[in-house]
Amino acid sequence: MGITIALAGNPNCGKTTLFNELTGSKQHVGNWPGVTVDKKDGIYKKNKDVKILDLPGTYSLSPYSAEEIVARDYIVKDRPDVVIDIVDGTSIERNLYLSLQIMETGIPMVIALNMMDEVKARGDEIDCRKLSEKLGVPVVPVVARSNKGLEELMAAAVEAAGKQPRTEWPGLFGEELENAIAGIASVLGDSDPRESRWKAIKLVENDEVVSKSLDPAKADCVKKLVEEANRKAGGDAEAKIADSRYQYIGKIVGECVRKARRGHVETKSDKADKFLTNRILAFPVFAAVMYVMFACTFSENFLFIEGLPSPGIWLAGIVENVWGMLAGAIVGAVEGMGASEWATGLVSSCLDGIGAVAGFLPLVLVLFLLLSFLEDSGYMARVAFVMDRIFRHFGLSGRSFIPMLMGFGCSVPALMASRTLESDKDRKITMMITPFMSCGAKLPIYAMFAATLFADGNRTAVVFSVYMLGVVVAVIGALLLNKFAFRSEASNFIMELPQYRMPTLKSVLIHAWEKVKGFAAKAGTVIFASTVLIWFLSNFNFGGMCSMEESLLALAGNSIKWIFAPLGWADWRASVGVVTGWIAKENIVATFGQLFGGVSDEMVEAVMAGEEALPAISEVFNKVSAYSYMAFNLLCMPCFAAVGAIRREMGSWKWTLRAVGFQMATAYVVALLINVLGNMVF
């Protein structure tokens, strides 16, 4: 018989790292709270009969945010065979609070005492054998990042399955509260006494979920007993229970943990934070870090050395050359087979479209390698802390910046990350502004224009400014939404700042590879299908094969181009690009690659040689209208997958349509201002 093991623990305790090591999965790992917002499952790679689930982080089984509810519901309702509770050994007192609550549910449990390398580096010692005796559950020391102790952990977890764990600690809550809990459990009368006791404790703690599930016939009696428990606890039984747990944990830790004798020692993280979170320096440092990141990706004069391209540009040139040779060979082979002109044109057009996207894979790879390094180091958590100073003036907390930062990767998981927000108002506002962040799919659009219209040394500045524009518009959008649509007080911001850690090469590569793989997968599926459809629509009308200007696509584009004329691009091809971008933002580059005639082949020459703008695009766009086009596609409705994510997280089409309407209106207004003001200045 197979067994199911759930991984639980506080946010940022190493659950997902452990999950990846045990299952061979490649889930995103970040050195900040809230990376996992939904449960993920996998199979233990050394035993196919063991299923493992990675649950979102939670500080207790009294959930306040959506992702904490996911963890609590699975543990309490689905009741896995075993729970592995990952405890951060450097913060053992706080982590053991959740451990006690899980043990109270009566589910077999094993404690994985993680980050023991850091415990040792501090000079501390934890007696795992004694801790196991005190708690009544196996305690296994591990270092998830380096795969130490994991076999022993899984052996203990498999052995624990089916065993009855300890669920009570006599006198833990005091005689009067214990009697009240026992009385409530007796009234509940569940078939499993452990379940009755756990529910009784949650009722005394005023848990709304358990209260709503009460049998109406028993509700009045339970209510009176809870009121009596509160009276005996001095008016706040919930606080009494929490205090009792912490006192018990403190006693255990005092007996099982020996800390190195030292006064207040300033850690490396403390020293770094004096600079990186400084009230005056924090924002300039963040801007400088982001600019350097983009310079490593886009600069044609890397490290200010004339003629030395950045790693991203250098790799892009190689990929473009290889793709050009491959595409030429394929087209030549098709022609050599005697294919008709239209078939050869279809193949060539599809290769142009896919090549226009594939050429930007190296840029995406380099950018996400750097972004992954910043996330895993712990710096991005500091950015959220710093941004709270701005966000709280606009009715949001700095925690809202975490989904926004994730939006630099992909809007879909970023929108899901809004579950970490406790306030419904915060969640809705954050979901409405998160798509303003430049996801990886939008990067090729900026790179295309930077290579063709800004080939005079301004590429890095142009791309950097577009990314920053998204952040600025998001902040202003949050202010407007909070003032006119969600009138309420600003949310509180409480966030644990993790220790700075040197990211592992494996973690950084996994994160970057997953982004590039998803990008490439879309190029081979969605974008390939789109290029085929665009070729047919741009080469046929109701009378048969025709010129592009007389095609069905031109007819559709010409019918809507007037909408975008005030924004500076009254060309049907530009209008079609906007629409195809709603399928996938990379589609805009693929569309231009077909409609403007082989943009990708000429682009590599412009990138490598720094030539002037390509004639095909420069006939439609100048620098101002190109920037307007980038801004519109940055801010307008995201791809259909992201819209679906908004629908799932919002819970209704009404709010989804409101979000899309807000995004489209914002995009139009900003692009219009850029075009009008830009033409006045330049």
Closest listed residue to residue 584, CA positions, set 532, 519, 646? 519
Q: List the structure tokens of 196.
A: 């009755």
The rounded percent of the chain whose pLDDT value lies above 90 is 14
- Return the pLDDT at 214: 79
For the whole prediction, is pTM greater than 0.85? no
- Return the pLDDT at 411: 81
Q: Which domains does the chain possess?
A: 3-160 (3.40.50.300), 175-258 (1.10.287.1770), 285-489+513-681 (no CATH)
Helix, strand, coil share (%) of the chain residues, nearest 5: 65, 5, 30
594 has pLDDT over 80: no
Over residues 160-179, the pLDDT tens digits come to 887 776 666 666 777 778 78
Q: Rg of the chain over CA atoms, in angstroms?
A: 29
CA-to-CA distance for 522 and 531, rounded, in angstroms? 12
Over residues 596-652, the pLDDT tens digits come to 764 444 444 443 344 444 446 777 888 899 999 999 999 999 888 888 888 888 888
Q: Greatest CA separation found in the chain? A: 92
Q: Sign (positive/negative) of CA torsion 632, 633, 634, 637?
A: positive
DSSP assignment of 87-154, as one string?
A: EEGGGHHHHHHHHHHHHHTT--EEEEEE-HHHHHHTT-EE-HHHHHHHHTS-EEE-BGGGTBTHHHHH
- Return the pLDDT at 332: 84
Is the model more confident about 484 or about 557? Answer: 557
**Mean pLDDT value across residues 59-73:** 74
Residue 404 — pLDDT band, cuts 50, 70, 90?
A: confident
Q: Collapsing DSSP states into helix, strand and coil, what is residue 513?
A: helix
Q: Collapsing DSSP states into helix, strand and coil, what is residue 85?
A: strand
**Mean pLDDT value across residues 90-110:** 88
Q: Sign (positive/negative) of CA torsion 613, 617, 622, 627?
A: negative
What is the CB-side half-sphere exposure of residue 36 using CA atoms within 13 A?
Answer: 31
CA-to-CA distance for 457 and 543, rounded, in angstroms? 47
The listed range with the strongest mean pLDDT (298-307, 429-438, 520-529) is: 429-438
The rounded percent of the chain whose pLDDT value lies above 70 is 85
Q: List the structure tokens of 456.
A: 């005079």
CA-to-CA distance for 148 and 162, rounded, in angstroms? 26
Over residues 444-459, the pLDDT tens digits come to 888 888 877 876 557 7
Tell me the CA distances in angstroms from 583 to 248, 525, 529, 586, one per residue in order.
56, 12, 11, 9
Q: Which helix (H) or strand (E) holds 3?
A: strand 3-9
Among 377-381, 657-661, 665-669, which stretch is predicted with the lowest mean pLDDT?
Answer: 377-381
**Mean pLDDT value across residues 298-326:** 73
